[in-house]
Amino acid sequence: MKYFIDTHDKNKGSFPAQELTEEEFFEQFAALEEAAQEIGVFGHAAHVNLKEGKAFCFMSGPDQDSIRKAHAAINLPYDSITEVRRVTGADMRVPQPVSPNRASARARACCSGLSVGCPSLPRPLPEPLSSLRAG
């Protein structure tokens, strides 16, 4: 299995010209996921800026052509499909329990200004796309 990021941009004609609502975007991504599944492709996530009309989809499949076919199945244009070899970040990580020693080391790094993602700072947690879909 290979990993890919495909891009969509309103300024390049690969994202709808009118501003989409979140619900409309989720419906479109759900249609892509359904078409992709029939081709042996999986849609892991989409990162989107609805106001600017840009989206970055993270998908996996046997090859770039299968990602292209998934988009073609629902007439969804794209700017590029790029194979990525190293996958990191929230899309693929499974949360692991933090040991007391690691937790205190993380807190020291945070409090000393060495860490960007400080756990002691209040911030809202993002919800995964699947929890926002109607249905």
4-42 per-position pLDDT tens digit: 999 999 999 999 888 889 999 999 999 999 999 999 999
Q: Model confidence over 56-90: pLDDT tens digits? A: 999 999 999 999 999 999 999 999 999 998 656 65
pLDDT score for 120: 41
Q: Provide the 10 A C-beta neighbour count for residue 15.
A: 26
The domain covering 2-84 belongs, at the CATH homologous superfamily level, to ORF SCO4226, nickel-binding ferredoxin-like monomer (3.30.70.3090)
What pLDDT score does 91 carry?
52
Question: What ranges do the domains of the chain cover?
Answer: 2-84
Residues contacting residue 44 through CB under 8 Å, at least 6 positions apart: 58, 59, 60, 91, 92
pTM for the full predicted model: 0.62
